[in-house]
């Protein structure tokens, strides 16, 4: 589900809202969907972006929502366990993204500016499935992360003098 105009991964249709799915997960564990947890789920799913816990705390604070840092960290862990968020372990931080309601996709990570680009490639999916079949394995997903330097950072750090090329 990639938009060819923007290369944006588009959400897929799901039967339950993330909030309902989270409530169900918590009920199975004997826990409740408290107001702070509800605010977090709604805030996280109001936009599709990669974020880390500190960014989320800052966004919540900037929008006038006072939720403790410990509640944010505990709820992020629960959202990952519930299959609503996916953790991306990047070079210098752990980022989160929507898992529920989004198709399998992979990532490019610029180690200079921390930019994360999503992409979907059918050849990678075919290779994953072929390798799995060859080894008697049934794949349920994969994580593929390419680290490097984006074109903007490459241009800004390109050598200016001939001696820099040596």
Beta bridge partners of 117: 108
Task: Note the pLDDT tens digit of each residue in 16-58.
Answer: 999 999 999 999 999 999 999 999 999 999 988 899 999 999 9
What pTM does this model have? 0.78
Structural tokens at position 73:
């960290």
Annotated binding site for Zn(2+): 110, 113, 150, 153
Q: State phi, psi for 107 to the nearest 5 degrees.
A: -140, 150
Annotated binding site for Fe cation: 106, 142
**Euclidean distance between CA atoms 21 and 18, whole angstroms:** 5
CATH classification for the domain delimited by 104-166, as one of 3.30.1490.190, 3.40.50.9100, 3.40.50.300, 3.40.50.150: 3.30.1490.190
**Euclidean distance between CA atoms 22 and 37, whole angstroms:** 9
Task: Note the pLDDT tens digit of each residue in 121-146.
Answer: 889 999 999 999 999 999 988 888 89
Residue 3, H or E segment: strand 2-3
Annotated binding site: 106, 110, 113, 142, 150, 153
């Amino acid at each position: 589900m990639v938009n060819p105009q923007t290369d944006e991964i588009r959400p897929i249709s799901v039967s339950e809202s993330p909030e309902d799915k989270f409530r169900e997960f918590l009920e199975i564990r004997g826990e409740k969907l408290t107001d702070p947890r509800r605010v977090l789920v709604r805030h996280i799913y109001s936009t599709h972006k990669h974020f880390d816990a500190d960014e989320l705390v800052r966004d919540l604070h900037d929008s006038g929502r006072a939720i403790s840092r410990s509640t944010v960290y505990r709820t992020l862990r629960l959202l990952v366990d519930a299959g609503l968020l996916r953790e991306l372990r990047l070079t210098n931080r752990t980022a989160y993204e929507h898992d529920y309601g989004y198709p399998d996709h992979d990532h490019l990570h610029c180690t200079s500016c921390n930019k994360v680009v999503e992409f979907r490639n059918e050849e990678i999916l075919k290779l994953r499935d072929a390798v799995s079949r060859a080894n008697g394995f049934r794949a349920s997903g994969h994580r593929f992360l390419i680290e490097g330097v984006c074109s903007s950072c490459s241009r800004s750090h390109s050598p200016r003098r001939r001696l820099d090329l040596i």
